[in-house]
Structure 1
Amino acid sequence: MKAILICLFAWLSINLQAQSTAHAGENGKITGKVIDSLTKAPLEYATITVMDKSSGKILTGGASNDAGVFTITGIAAGEYTIIIESIGYQKITLSAVPVQKGKPVELKLIRLVKKDQDLSAVTVTAKAKLIENKIDKMIFNAEKDLTSAGGVATDLLKKVPQVSVDVDGNVQLAGNGSIRFLINGKPSTAFGSNVADVLQSIPASQIKSIEVITNPGARYDAQGMGGIINIILKTNTARGINGNMSLTAGTRAENGAVNFNARNKSFGINAFVSGNTRLPVSTPYTSERNSTDTVGKTNTLLQQDGNTKLKRYGLESGMGIDWAYKKYNSFSVNVNYDIFGTSTRGLINQVQENTTYNGGLLSNLATLNNTNSRNRSHNVDLSFNYKRTFAKEDQELEFAVNSSIGRTQGNAANEQFFMPQDSLYYGVMNSNPGKENQTQITLDYTQPLTEKIQLGTGIKTTILDISSNAVAWGYSPLAKDYVYADALSNNLQYHQKVYAGYAELSFPVGNLFEVKAGGRYERTEINSYYSNAQQQVKKPGYYTWVPSLFLSKKLGDEQVIKLSYSKRIERPDYGDLNPFINTSDPKNITAGNPYLLPELGQRVELSYSRNMGNVGSVILTGFYRHNRQDIQPYVKYYPSLIVGDSTYYNVSVSTRENIGTEDNTGLNVFSDVHLTSKLSLRTNLSFYHRKIFNAIDVGQSRTSFNYRTNLNVTYQFTNLMAGEFFGNFNSARNEVQGRYPSLTTYSFALRQFIWHKKGSLALTATNPFNEYVKQKLEINGPGFTTTTIRKIPFRSIGINFTWKFGKLEFRNEHKDEGGGDENL
């Protein structure tokens, strides 16, 4: 498949380059760059109109890209009037612009000045892109999506190219689940506990955009094997008082969010609060495990038939202050407070049958299990940023301190009764509080060496402290009471420091392509203590060299081909390392692995994108990824297992292991096509070929082909009403020990704007014709085979109300600032 990808992109490059060359020299073209007159920031989506000078007839036009640059081709020789406009700015008219055949016209830097404008008077006529493809990342503008109204973050992630979400909310990026999640570009300890729970607790109405970085550059932390997903929350930097409110009521989930922004001259404040709750739902399931004891020469069949009721909730809040001082200096301070939690109750009927190799019945035991668990975490995120700009464009100095303080509390209990006597014979209760503190100190500097060459460099220190204290009590049939279980109680102290420095250089290679090359050097030091370890093994510090390379080539004005390479590392997190042994279900034990080694990987990506103007756009992305010391969930079977002074029979233990190496080759095809002015289609196709080399159970390596496809259809019924359909299919996929099930979901949405588009009502429905999603999971390893079938409630219907309020004021900054020194 790697050969196919290489041939495909080579053909595209040659063919499109030939097209570009063939059209060179036809008529003339006009190029330029549009920026804000005060901030010097480039203005994207500025409209450029080309008019006949004598008749005033509009002949052609275009829009500026994310760098503020525009190019208009195919203009016959003559004199023209050029009009440059952008929402919220005063337009500029250039008269008598001469154009000659075969000679490009380079306009001077165009500086647009802001004007006063009321929010209610703003009418957006240009259609912003849903997907923006930058040199080193892709941006999904979540505000433009309909079916996610009233949903959560995972509903949005399903629609992002190269991202997939399973039925439990677990996220993969280009087929890899080891993702570095950020909120507004900053890490949070909230993601150290349970990523799926956190993502399913963030209302979609709170999210402005999602940035996906599959091959992060040298400026980014090396952490995150699959790449980085950065969730940008809504805010507004325009002057005045404004905000928005969103409320959702539904059959499965309810949420709400309020944003408030206020700005006067150089000072601004923003605040938000949002909450989400998933109403209690019951998930019936059956499980069957066939196992063999080669020593005792017996076979065991364990059958479980149960039901689990789950409830989830989340609350996020935050406040930020920013201040611009004397033109070149800006300060910002942000404080966020989050709470996430889940609670479950379960009832399991269990039958265990032991037979000889010849089929002779040895025993048949029926039991009833009652289970319940509760997990809660709260986090405080603090950040301080100082940014210094200079008179020289693109020269910047930035200093930041980010701290995240997380507290978790887990409680679980299990009681098992012999049937039909209904007598208690086994019970365990445990409490597992934990702490996770992380602080990052960063200094970045960008220096333009020439007009086209730019150097970026910086240093960073990350300090991570994790502590866990697990206390367990086991039921004693003799005492008929719970007693302290020393073997199941333990504590963890884990301290990690990462010192990093990087440099990256951006420059053109003639007219061939743009280059962004960099390197990051990280030193990791670990000091850990595990109370139940037979021997404390001191882990030596290690160095990690992380190079990155981006090559970008424009093929004409609307086509780009990119080649990139990066190296990544995945350090085990709190959930991986926590040595707590959970025996709530004594037949299916779970435990952390404090001896995990970091996972290392390298990734090459080749992509082609084409913007077809009003017709739409297409993006093709191929990649190859190689991981070593690959970290994956792993299950081992034991006919008998001693934990402390207790012996567990016919038990499986689930943990995470460095399983070996993994190779992935993939292709992603994204297209956004506007069939008419009202009807748009968006498709996202992903194909992956995976090969896993199992170093734990030699000979159990696996090869598989997986794919994912979705379709999004949007129709604009009127100027105030739009409808949308979204369908998604994830194929079954093979992991190191088994086959994970396929998933099909679909949703509908209808949105009506009201109050002059300041408000909207949306009706949403997910899987309305199917109450459950059936999931069949097959896992096998030496001595055992397990098949589990779950029926997960998935049908939901909801209604969402959104309201935007306030007034935006655009002023001439020079008049507001008055006199005084502009330099610090």
Structure 2
Amino acid sequence: MKIYLILFLLFALSFNLKAQNNTTNGKITGKVTDAVTKQPVDFATISVFKQGSTSPFNGGSTDPKGNFKIDNVAPGDYILTVDFIGYKQYKIAHAVVLSTNKNLALGEILLTPLQTQLKEVSVTATGPTVANKIDKLVYSPANDLTSQGGVALDVLQKVPMVSVDINGNVELMGNTNIQFLINGKPSTIFGASITDALQAIPASQIKSIEVITNPGAKYDAAGTGGIINIVLKDNNIQGVNGSVNLTAGTRLENGNFNINAKKGKIGVGAFFSGNENLTSATPSSGNRTSYSNTRDTVTNLGQNGVSNFKRSGYRSGFNINWDITPKDALSASVNFNHFGNNSNGYVNNFQTTSVGGLSIDTNSVNHSTSKFNNNSTDWSLFYKKTFSKKDQELDVLYNQSIGHNTNNYTQQQDYTNVPFPSSGSIGSNPGTDKETNIQIDYNQPVTEDFSIETGAKATIENIDNAVNTQMLSNGAYVANPFQTYSFTYSRKIYAYYLSTTFSLFHNFIDGKAGLRDEYTVSTSDFPNTTIPSYNILAPSFVLSHKIDKTQTIKFSYSYRLERPDYNGLNPFYNISDPHNISTGNPELKPEYGHNFELGYNKSFSNGANIYVAGFYRYNTNDIQSFTTFYPSFTIGDSTYTNVSLNQRYNIGREVTEGVNLFGSIPAGKFTFRSNMFFADRITSNPGSVQVSGLAYRINLNTSYEFAKTLAAEFFINYRSSQRGIQGTNPAFLFYNFAVRKQVLNKKASIGLTAANPFNQYVNVNSTTYGSNFNQNSLREIPLRSFGISLMYKFGKLEFKKDREQQDNAAPDEGGAGGGSK
């Protein structure tokens, strides 16, 4: 109720302040846009000087749509500047407010990124690496040398507030429950396997990564960790252009090609990318001690072996954009995705069971294979309608994603010191995940500093799969009807939201606030499973204050939930190792979270920038993996002994509080960037002891520019161990080097990379314990690699407006001191 009351008071206050803003003085308005990307620049600083003065007497900042308004400006001749880190300063020498017309409309002001060069019709642009906007943080990897030739996971390691562990699991502010989007749209590829999906996206195709820790009401309420939106490269500029990227290495090979063309009102684009992680051998070992319920029987299981792992994938797509009229645009896209992994290897088992004074040794060797594949199609249709009133807009989106997933395994266990017959099984789990989204959004400006946005969305998801199992019997594999079944799951989500964007106290505070209502209906045909319907009211807000043109402070809050995904729900038992079995949980309920964040940003005249964010997160019904030990475990008609079962559950509550520090410092030809994360995670599980553990992540990125066409970079990342509810997750250190040489007037480049060159393996130690077992394991992960990357850009760009757009330009654009065209 307190949050709803605060929202109501903010809305009322913004209207009240606007009503009181009557003055005899005038105002200056305009819109700031990136000259290359044509995207609005929010948080740009507008300063107004009296002629001959070096200190501004008035000013403000742009809102999320790049608009600004400066009130209480007396008639006169002024100097106006526009500043934002990573861009050249824009200056208007004579911005004249007339006594006869006190409202000066500057129209669109185009900010040019630093290091931008325009030669005839070619363009090379480098914008800011990290841009801190009012509701999100944007990381642009254009100059990320150590990620060249890599994949999306390599880029994510550099993004502030994001952490990637040794297994490719991504955390945002310490939370793994993240909603991933591609170009702002959901995809079923992330429900199948987030790690494999991120491995299939080449770094060279990523334009930027948007991190939204407290999403507004317009976004789905899903993802207690927040949202990571991967924006892929595109082009909406007249002409034909494209690029080719190729990488060869000792562990990773990939390549991608894209082409874009636009003439008049029609633009088209296509791309293809493929990559392969070459087969690598991962040695592993472990030891587990378990006890019977009466603790009179003790079993020790020692394991060692080697697993050969390989991952591959490709993506392709096509898009078309049609500017029907200057105020109506239609775009359509279709993407095809394929990725997967497979492994094969062996594990030696040494089991000793002690009962009283007797010991029984049972030794065996287990040969197994495991294979995962995903084939999916995403397609969307998007319509945008603008109106004569600035920022009035209607958007309609239809998006559908269909993923076909397959999980297969084989295993055979042969005993070496006892006369037991060999045992084994073959499991196949094909399934389909289909998701359809229909969304409509409308933005209505009420005044120049207050607007209302509203919209609705329907999401329909259907999951179905089958489990087919064969068991080894008398030397042959035969179908097992007791481990053969099907599973269907349906989920429908209906959402409506209302949000506002506003400025208070003469632009002293800029803010966004809103409320989203989501109603979820879920059904399943899995035996003894009942899933009740539920509704969530999700408020959110962000308040920002510009202390001066170099300092900003903001406070934000959101209430969110995490719905279980395909892997979490799927009841398929993976028995590739009969002593370590994993499965999904169809009875999972959503996790709920309250997220608070306080951030401070400071930029300096030499280009340096720091951002500090303190956060507090409180989750209930927390979804976590949990391992249970069973002396014997029955699946269908088969009983397995000495089994650790890993499954996801709704476990108690979790509180995470900490701070994230980001800094970027240019020093001559050097540029230093560092991202540090410190957090304490407290997990409470009913019936268990409360667990608290400090975790931190520190990385350093250093680049050096030998010449305008030759640069080098070094990156090092350390992630500490993390105590959890059942043990300790491993710590690890990773580092790499890179150098890039640009040729052919920067249309082509060649790059060399070396990852962990002085260490063949990264040792990963972890511990797990429960009421009747404790376990430790060691994996030696091969991360050392060397690679070479080639890039070539072709075609030319034509920077000119369509004649029809020029004819329909607003009459007040380009007035006294008007913006660039």
Fold conserved between structures, TM > 0.5 = yes
- 2:572 corresponds to 1:580: yes
Q: Summarize the Cα distance change of 1:554–1:290 in structure 2 as closer, same or farther, 3 Å threshold.
A: same
> Aligned letter for 2:580?
N
Partner Cα separation in structure 2 for residue 652 and residue 30 of structure 1: 68
Instruction: Please say if residues 515 and 550 of structure 1, whose CA atoms lie closer than 8 Å, have aligned partners that are also in contact.
Output: yes
Q: Summarize the Cα distance change of 1:324–1:178 in structure 2 as closer, same or farther, 3 Å threshold.
A: same
Residue 728 of structure 2 aligns with which residue?
A: 739
- 2:538 corresponds to 1:546: yes
Partner Cα separation in structure 1 for residue 482 and residue 472 of structure 2: 14
Instruction: Please say if residues 186 and 402 of structure 1, whose CA atoms lie closer than 8 Å, have aligned partners that are also in contact.
Output: yes
Partner Cα separation in structure 2 for residue 125 and residue 189 of structure 1: 35
- 2:500 corresponds to 1:505: yes
Deviations 1:196-244 (A, max 9, x none): 1111121111111100111111000011111110101111111100011
Q: Summarize the Cα distance change of 1:30–1:821 in structure 2 as closer, same or farther, 3 Å threshold.
A: closer
- 2:226 corresponds to 1:234: no
User: Of 574, 597, 622, which residue of structure 2 is paired with 1:605?
Assistant: 597
Deviations 1:350-374 (A, max 9, x none): 11001135xx332101101100111
Q: Summarize the Cα distance change of 1:725–1:124 in structure 2 as closer, same or farther, 3 Å threshold.
A: farther
Tell me the CA shift for residue 644 of structure 1: 2.3
Instruction: Please say if residues 560 and 609 of structure 1, whose CA atoms lie closer than 8 Å, have aligned partners that are also in contact.
Output: yes
Residue 690 of structure 1 aligns with which residue?
A: 681
Partner Cα separation in structure 2 for residue 724 and residue 37 of structure 1: 28
> Aligned letter for 1:345?
N
User: Of 402, 405, 409, which residue of structure 2 is paired with 1:405?
Assistant: 402
Aligned residues: 763
Residue 758 of structure 1 aligns with which residue?
A: 747
Tell me the CA shift for residue 475 of structure 1: 1.1
Partner Cα separation in structure 2 for residue 636 and residue 302 of structure 1: 15
Deviations 1:771-819 (A, max 9, x none): 0000001000110001010000000110111111111012232367879
Partner Cα separation in structure 2 for residue 679 and residue 259 of structure 1: 32
Deviations 1:511-536 (A, max 9, x none): 33122110000110011111xx2x3x
Residue 708 of structure 1 aligns with which residue?
A: 697
Tell me the CA shift for residue 144 of structure 1: 2.5
Map 1:147-166 → 2, pairs under 5 A: 147-166=146-165
Tell me the CA shift for residue 295 of structure 1: 3.2
Partner Cα separation in structure 1 for residue 295 and residue 732 of structure 2: 40
Deviations 1:701-755 (A, max 9, x none): 2111111100000111101101111110000001111101111001111010000
- 2:489 corresponds to 1:494: yes
Residue 371 of structure 2 aligns with which residue?
A: 374
SS for the counterpart of 2:539 is strand
Map 1:209-228 → 2, pairs under 5 A: 209-228=208-227
Residue 771 of structure 1 aligns with which residue?
A: 760
Tell me the CA shift for residue 643 of structure 1: 2.3
Instruction: Please say if residues 488 and 580 of structure 1, whose CA atoms lie closer than 8 Å, have aligned partners that are also in contact.
Output: no
Residue 135 of structure 1 aligns with which residue?
A: 134
- 2:554 corresponds to 1:557: no
Residue 518 of structure 1 aligns with which residue?
A: 514
Q: Summarize the Cα distance change of 1:607–1:471 in structure 2 as closer, same or farther, 3 Å threshold.
A: same
Q: Summarize the Cα distance change of 1:52–1:194 in structure 2 as closer, same or farther, 3 Å threshold.
A: same
SS for the counterpart of 1:205 is helix
Instruction: Please say if residues 234 and 259 of structure 1, whose CA atoms lie closer than 8 Å, have aligned partners that are also in contact.
Output: no
Partner Cα separation in structure 2 for residue 422 and residue 32 of structure 1: 85
Map 1:419-458 → 2, pairs under 5 A: 419=416, 425-458=422-455
Residue 389 of structure 1 aligns with which residue?
A: 386
Tell me the CA shift for residue 41 of structure 1: 6.7
Instruction: Please say if residues 415 and 424 of structure 1, whose CA atoms lie closer than 8 Å, have aligned partners that are also in contact.
Output: no
Partner Cα separation in structure 1 for residue 453 and residue 50 of structure 2: 44
* Aligned CA-pair RMSD: 3.4
Partner Cα separation in structure 2 for residue 114 and residue 817 of structure 1: 20
Partner Cα separation in structure 2 for residue 571 and residue 794 of structure 1: 33
Tell me the CA shift for residue 289 of structure 1: 0.4
Residue 344 of structure 2 aligns with which residue?
A: 345
> Aligned letter for 2:382?
N
Instruction: Please say if residues 217 and 516 of structure 2, whose CA atoms lie closer than 8 Å, have aligned partners that are also in contact.
Output: yes
Segment of structure 1 superposing worse, 807-816 or 772-781: 807-816
Instruction: Please say if residues 236 and 267 of structure 2, whose CA atoms lie closer than 8 Å, have aligned partners that are also in contact.
Output: yes
The answer for unaligned runs of 5 or more in structure 1 is: 1-28, 55-60, 73-77, 100-104
Map 1:171-186 → 2, pairs under 5 A: 171-186=170-185
Percent identity of equivalent pairs? 43
Tell me the CA shift for residue 83 of structure 1: 9.4
Q: Summarize the Cα distance change of 1:122–1:82 in structure 2 as closer, same or farther, 3 Å threshold.
A: farther
> Aligned letter for 2:168?
G
Partner Cα separation in structure 2 for residue 39 and residue 341 of structure 1: 34
Deviations 1:402-459 (A, max 9, x none): 0001001121100111115897511100110000000000010000011110100000
Partner Cα separation in structure 2 for residue 617 and residue 349 of structure 1: 53
Residue 298 of structure 1 aligns with which residue?
A: 297
Partner Cα separation in structure 2 for residue 49 and residue 660 of structure 1: 51
> Aligned letter for 1:320?
N
Q: Summarize the Cα distance change of 1:119–1:661 in structure 2 as closer, same or farther, 3 Å threshold.
A: same
Partner Cα separation in structure 1 for residue 511 and residue 42 of structure 2: 22
Instruction: Please say if residues 141 and 210 of structure 1, whose CA atoms lie closer than 8 Å, have aligned partners that are also in contact.
Output: yes
Q: Summarize the Cα distance change of 1:46–1:573 in structure 2 as closer, same or farther, 3 Å threshold.
A: closer
The answer for unaligned runs of 5 or more in structure 2 is: 1-26, 53-58, 71-75, 812-821
Partner Cα separation in structure 2 for residue 416 and residue 468 of structure 1: 27
Partner Cα separation in structure 1 for residue 680 and residue 128 of structure 2: 31
Residue 806 of structure 1 aligns with which residue?
A: 795
Map 1:62-73 → 2, pairs under 5 A: 68=66
> Aligned letter for 2:154?
D
User: Of 455, 458, 462, which residue of structure 2 is paired with 1:461?
Assistant: 458
Q: Summarize the Cα distance change of 1:226–1:816 in structure 2 as closer, same or farther, 3 Å threshold.
A: closer
Partner Cα separation in structure 2 for residue 606 and residue 48 of structure 1: 24
Tell me the CA shift for residue 62 of structure 1: 14
User: Of 653, 676, 681, which residue of structure 1 is paired with 2:672?
Assistant: 681
Q: Summarize the Cα distance change of 1:140–1:433 in structure 2 as closer, same or farther, 3 Å threshold.
A: same
